[in-house]
C-alpha cells in the first residue's frame, strides 16, 4: 500500500538556525503514532512542515492523501480558548482526512472536552500523528516516535512501558552530565597548572629584566599593571574552579545515594492550624458564598474553563481582592505557584535559592530526589520552560523558613511532559502539608491524594 506520508533525509532548523532534525526518515500508512519529547525539541515545527504542503529546504516529503492539521496555537475569534480548540478539532474531523495531524489537542480543553476527544480518536479509522503530553491520549497508542536533542527513535509498546524506558534514559543522562562536569573540572585544573607554569617562567624573565636595569619608574608601572590584571584573572579563575569542584564533588556523592523522597521534604510544625480562612467569598458572575477553612487538607478545584478557578486561587492567596466576603491568609505559611509559574520568573537559579539555606551537597541531593535535571539547576528561573519552572518553584518553596504548610497550585501539569508529571506526582504525594490544586486531570488528582473537591460552574 502506498504510504500516506513519506519523509526521507529531512533536515529542519529552528527560526534561529538551531538544528532540530537531521536526516529524518519515516513512512506512515494507516498507523496511529504519538510524537513525544521535551518542549523545544522541534515537534511542533515538524508538524507544521508536514502539514504545510511546502517542500523542505533539505530532504523530501511525499504526501499521498488529504491532510487535516490542528495546530497548538489557535487565533482568537471572540470565543474562549477551549471553545476555539473544540471547534477546530470538530472541523478537522468533518473533513474526513486520510491523515490527521494534531499538536497538543487537549490544550485548553476541560475534563469533558478531553473525554470527548479521546472517545472519537479511539475509533479514528485513518492515519493519525499526534503531539501530546497528555497521558489520557497517550494510552490510546502503541506506536511512538521519541524526539530528543540527539535524534529520533521509534518505540513500540504500551505507554507505561515507554515511561519506564524514558526514566532509565533520564538516569543515564544525569550520569553522563556528571561525567561531563568531571571532564570540565579536569580541564580547568590543567589550565590552572599551565597558568602556574607560565607564571614561574615570567618570574624568571623578570629577574633577568632587572639585570638590564630599565628606567625604574617604567618598570614599576609595567609590573604594577601586570600584577593587578593577573591577580584579577587568578582570583576569577580560582573562584570558578572552586565552585566547579564543589559542584562536581557534591553531585558525585548525591547521585550515589538513593534515599526516599520524604527526606527532601520540610518538617512541619505539629499544630496544623488553619492557614487560609474564607467566609462568604464571592466573585461576580462566577461563584458565591464559598466558606473554607484550609489547614493540611488536600483540595482540588475543578470545573469547566471560565468557571473562576484561577480567580478563586488568587482571592485565597490575596493576589486579587474579593468581590465579597472575607479572606484571612497567613502568607508566610503559603507558597503559591501560578499557572506556568509566572510568579516565579526571576534571574536567580534553583541553586542560588537553595544556597541560602543548605550546602551544595544538600542542594544537589534535593534536586536528585525531586528528579530535577541537574543541567538546568544553574540557569535563571526566567529562562526555564513553564513546566521546568513549576518544578523548580516547588523545590525552592520547600526551602522556605519558617517552612510553608500549604501549597496552592494552578494547573501545575500544564506544559509538563509525562515523565515530569510522574515526578511531580511523587513530590506532591510525599508532601506532608496541605494542597489546593486546580487541574483538569483526574489521574493526577487521584495520584496526589485529593480528599475534597470544590466544583465551580456545575450545572444545577
Q: Give the gyration radius of the chain's Cα atoms.
A: 28
| pLDDT score of 180 | 65
Look-up of cell digits 484571612: 328
Q: What is the Cα–Cα distance from 444 to 135, expressed in whole angstroms?
A: 10
Q: What is the pLDDT of residue 257?
A: 46
Q: What is the pTM of this model?
A: 0.72
Please report the pLDDT score of residue 9 as a whole number: 95
Among 144, 88, 96, 76, smallest CA distance to 117 is for 88
Task: Quick: pLDDT tens for 218-248.
Answer: 545 455 545 555 556 656 656 655 565 565 5
Are 394 and 427 in contact by the 8 Å Cβ rule? The answer is yes
Taking 50 as the pLDDT cut, the residues of the chain under it are 217, 219, 221, 225, 253-254, 256-257, 460
405 touches 268 (CB < 8 A):
yes
User: Residue 248 and residue 197: Cα distance in Å, rounded?
Assistant: 25
The reported pLDDT for the residue numbered 34 is: 96
Query: Residue 35 in contact with residue 46, Cβ under 8 Å?
Result: yes
pLDDT score recorded for residue 329: 94
- HSE (side-chain half, CA atoms, 13 Å) at 55: 4
Q: Which residue has the cell 618598570?
A: 219
Question: Residues with Cβ < 8 Å from 459, sequence gap 6 or more?
Answer: none
Amino acid at each position: 500500500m502506498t504510504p500516506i506520508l513519506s519523509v526521507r533525509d529531512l533536515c529542519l532548523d529552528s527560526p534561529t538556525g538551531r538544528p532540530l532534525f537531521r536526516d529524518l526518515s519515516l513512512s506512515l500508512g494507516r498507523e496511529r503514532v504519538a510524537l513525544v519529547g521535551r518542549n523545544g525539541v522541534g515537534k511542533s515545527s515538524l508538524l507544521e512542515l508536514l502539514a504545510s504542503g511546502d517542500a523542505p529546504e533539505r530532504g523530501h516529503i511525499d504526501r499521498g492523501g488529504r491532510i487535516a492539521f490542528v495546530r497548538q496555537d489557535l487565533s482568537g475569534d471572540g470565543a474562549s480558548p477551549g471553545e476555539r480548540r473544540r471547534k477546530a478539532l470538530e472541523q478537522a474531523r468533518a473533513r474526513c482526512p486520510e491523515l490527521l495531524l494534531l499538536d497538543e489537542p487537549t490544550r485548553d480543553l476541560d475534563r469533558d472536552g478531553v473525554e470527548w476527544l479521546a472517545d472519537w480518536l479511539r475509533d479514528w479509522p485513518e492515519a493519525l500523528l499526534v503531539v501530546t503530553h497528555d497521558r489520557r491520549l497517550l494510552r490510546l497508542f502503541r506506536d511512538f516516535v521519541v524526539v530528543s536533542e540527539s535524534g529520533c527513535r521509534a518505540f513500540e509498546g504500551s505507554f507505561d512501558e515507554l515511561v519506564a524506558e524514558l526514566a532509565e534514559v533520564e538516569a543515564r543522562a544525569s550520569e553522563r552530565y556528571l561525567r561531563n562536569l568531571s571532564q570540565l573540572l579536569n580541564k580547568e585544573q590543567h589550565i590552572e597548572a599551565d597558568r602556574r607554569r607560565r607564571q614561574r617562567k615570567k618570574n624568571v624573565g623578570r629577574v633577568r629584566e632587572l639585570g638590564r636595569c630599565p628606567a625604574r619608574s617604567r618598570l614599576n608601572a609595567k609590573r604594577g599593571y601586570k600584577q593587578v590584571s593577573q591577580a584579577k584573572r587568578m582570583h576569577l579563575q580560582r573562584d570558578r574552579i572552586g565552585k566547579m569542584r564543589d559542584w562536581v564533588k557534591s553531585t558525585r556523592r548525591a547521585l550515589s545515594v538513593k534515599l526516599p523522597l520524604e527526606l527532601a521534604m520540610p518538617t512541619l510544625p505539629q499544630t496544623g492550624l488553619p492557614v487560609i480562612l474564607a467566609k462568604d467569598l464571592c466573585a461576580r458572575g462566577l461563584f458565591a458564598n464559598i466558606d473554607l477553612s484550609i489547614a493540611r487538607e488536600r483540595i482540588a478545584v475543578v470545573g469547566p474553563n471560565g468557571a473562576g478557578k484561577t480567580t478563586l486561587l488568587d482571592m485565597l492567596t490575596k493576589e486579587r481582592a474579593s468581590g465579597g466576603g472575607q479572606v484571612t491568609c497567613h502568607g508566610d505559611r503559603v507558597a503559591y505557584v501560578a499557572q506556568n509559574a509566572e510568579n516565579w520568573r526571576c534571574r536567580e537559579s534553583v541553586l542560588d535559592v537553595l544556597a541560602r539555606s543548605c550546602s551544595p551537597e544538600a542542594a544537589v541531593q534535593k534536586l536528585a530526589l525531586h528528579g530535577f535535571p541537574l543541567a538546568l539547576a544553574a540557569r535563571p528561573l526566567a529562562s526555564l520552560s513553564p513546566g521546568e519552572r513549576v518544578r523548580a518553584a516547588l523545590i525552592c518553596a520547600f526551602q522556605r523558613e519558617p517552612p510553608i504548610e500549604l501549597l496552592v497550585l494552578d494547573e501545575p501539569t500544564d506544559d509538563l511532559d509525562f515523565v515530569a508529571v510522574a515526578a511531580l506526582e511523587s513530590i506532591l504525594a510525599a508532601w506532608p502539608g496541605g494542597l489546593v490544586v486546580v487541574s483538569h486531570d483526574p489521574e493526577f488528582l487521584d495520584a496526589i491524594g485529593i480528599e475534597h473537591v470544590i466544583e465551580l460552574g456545575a450545572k444545577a
